[in-house]
Amino acid sequence: MNIYGFTYAQLEEYLRQHGEKVSKAPFIYQGLYKKQIDSLLDVPDIRLSLREQLASDFSLALPRLVQQTDGDDTVKFLFSLQDGSLIEAVLMRQAYGNSLCISSQVGCNMACAFCQSGRFKKVRNLQPAELTGQIIYIQKRLHLAISNVVLMGIGEPFDNYDNVMQFLEIISHPRGLALGARHITVSTCGLVPQIEQYALHPSHGLLAISLHAPDDETRSRLMPINRRYPVTQLMNAARTCIQNTGKKVMLEYVMLQEINDHPRQAQLLADLIGADDFHVNLIPYNETQNLNFTQSSRERILAFYDVLKKNHITVTMRREFGSSVNAACGQLRADYEKQQNT
């Protein structure tokens, strides 16, 4: 078993089952997440026999680095898991701290037309330890603290709901990585039942919805999930989340030239939001050589932005990250596998 997948409550239960006091749990979690030990024999302030028992029962295995690509403001990591599966993570250096975008699945079944990772069919879900391991590895390798975690890499987090929720419990625990809810963002392409379920857990992080179009015709063309959960149903689920948590829901909107970036679509989006507490994030499309989409011009993005502002919609334009390091989801994996096959 990999101990990075154990919640604090599960660790306490392990100690009880082995006749140990649960008061040892804080020292173990502190060793894992504060001191970032390399061996369970190094857990501080507990007796040697318990350390040896932990080292016998648990692994501290982390993903293996296959490739690291550094840019001005990003670092892209290609990892191999124990079964040889490849995933990606992207570190983004920002004024307010280090944000890490991690993967939640090996491959993805959502098949969004503009997404490179959608070209790789889902192989399996990541386990909680494999989610946590991405953070631990990068913190150790670069000797830095991750201040924000975003589940927006390869995979659909809500298609791996139970493992993702266990992971969120681990990284948000005050004795673990102690990331507050406002420093964790879970992104979904629109799995309505899971959004409604997530709305019952207000402490686990912010919700971002990959919307990308305000109407069913355009969105269904870009995102097949819309045929199952159309825009109105999706927005109603998002409103439930706002009501239950008291937090804004982010609407992610990738700007695609002459597809979803017309001012009339901006007005449709403003009408769809109305007076509700949404925050629209306009994202320059990170072009890949394998997909036939182009990034909207700055003029079209600004015109779209202006329509939303005139309708009193909270909107930001994300600074472009990672174009120099193949940071589009799945792009580094695709390039690596292409090189291996030539």
Q: Give the active site residues.
A: 88, 329
What DSSP designation does 273 have? H
If we measure between CA atoms, which residue out of 334, 284, 327 comes closest to residue 77? 327
If we measure between CA atoms, which residue out of 264, 307, 245, 247 comes closest to residue 282? 307
Q: 267-303 as b/e, with b when 16 or more CB fall inside 10 Å?
A: bbbbebbeeeebbbbbbbbbbbeebebebbeeebbee
CA dist 294 → 114, 170, 259 (Å) = 9, 39, 9
CA dist 168 → 18, 136, 171, 177 (Å) = 26, 14, 5, 10
What DSSP designation does 93 have? E
* DSSP-H helix ranges across 41-114: 48-57
**Are the C-beta atoms of residues 311 and 267 closer than 8 Å to each other?**
yes
Look up residue 296 and give its two tokens.
Answer: 């909207």
